[in-house]
Chains A and B, each alone.
Chain A
Amino acid sequence: MMAAVIFVISVAALMQFFVSYCRSLIAASARRALSVDVQDVIGTRSASGEDFARVMQFLHLCPDRREDRNGVKAIGAYFRLLGAVGTTMGRLIPSLRAWTESERSQCAYFAAVALDRRIAHNRDMFAEQMSG
Chain B
Amino acid sequence: MVGPFGYTIWLLGALLEATVVVCSLFRGPLRRYFTLNLYMAMSVLVNAGRYIIFTRHGLMSSEYIYFYYYSDAILTICLYFALMGLYAIVFEELGVTMRLRVFMMLLLIGTTLFSFSVVHQSESRMLTHYIVEISQNLYFVGLVLTYVLWAALLKLRESRVRVIQIVLSLGMYFSINAASYALRNAYPNLRFVWAYLPLAAGVFLPIAWIYAFMKFDDEARLAPARLAAVPR
Chain A residues at the B interface, C-beta cutoff of 8 Å = 3-4, 6-7, 9-11, 13-14, 16-21, 23-28, 30-31, 67, 70-71, 99
Closest to B228 in A: A20
Instruction: Please tell me if the beta carbons of B175 and A11 are within 8 angstroms of each other in the complex.
Output: yes
B135–chain A nearest beta-carbon distance, Å? 11
Kindly list chain B residues whose C-beta atoms are within 8 Å of the C-beta of A27. 222-223, 226-227
Is B53 an interface residue, CB under 8 A from the partner? no
Docked-complex contact A17 and B161, CB < 8 angstroms: no
Q: Nearest chain-B residue to A19 (Cβ)?
A: B229
Chain B, residues 97-134, CB within 8 Å of chain A (1/0): the string is 00000000000000000000000000000000000010
Q: How far is the CA of A34 from the CA of B136 in the complex (A)?
A: 46
Interface bin, chain B:
35 or more
26 residue pairs from A and B, CB less than 8 Å apart: A3-B183, A4-B182, A6-B136, A7-B179, A7-B183, A10-B175, A10-B179, A13-B147, A14-B176, A14-B179, A16-B229, A17-B175, A18-B172, A20-B227, A20-B228, A21-B169, A24-B168, A24-B222, A27-B223, A27-B226, A27-B227, A30-B222, A67-B211, A67-B215, A70-B208, A99-B231
Which residues of chain B are near A21, meaning CB under 8 Å? Answer: 165, 168-169, 172, 208
Q: Work out how many contacts link A and B, with CB atoms closer than 8 A.
A: 87
Give the residue name and chain of the B residue nearest to A11 (CB): B179
Digitize B163-201: 1 where CB-to-A-CB distance is under 8 Å, 0 elsewhere. 011001101100110110111011000000000000000
- A14 to B227 Cα, complex, angstroms: 15
Q: A10-B143, A28-B161 are in contact. List 13 more A-B contacts (CB 8 A).
A: A3-B185, A4-B182, A6-B181, A7-B186, A10-B140, A11-B179, A13-B147, A17-B171, A27-B226, A28-B215, A28-B220, A67-B214, A70-B208
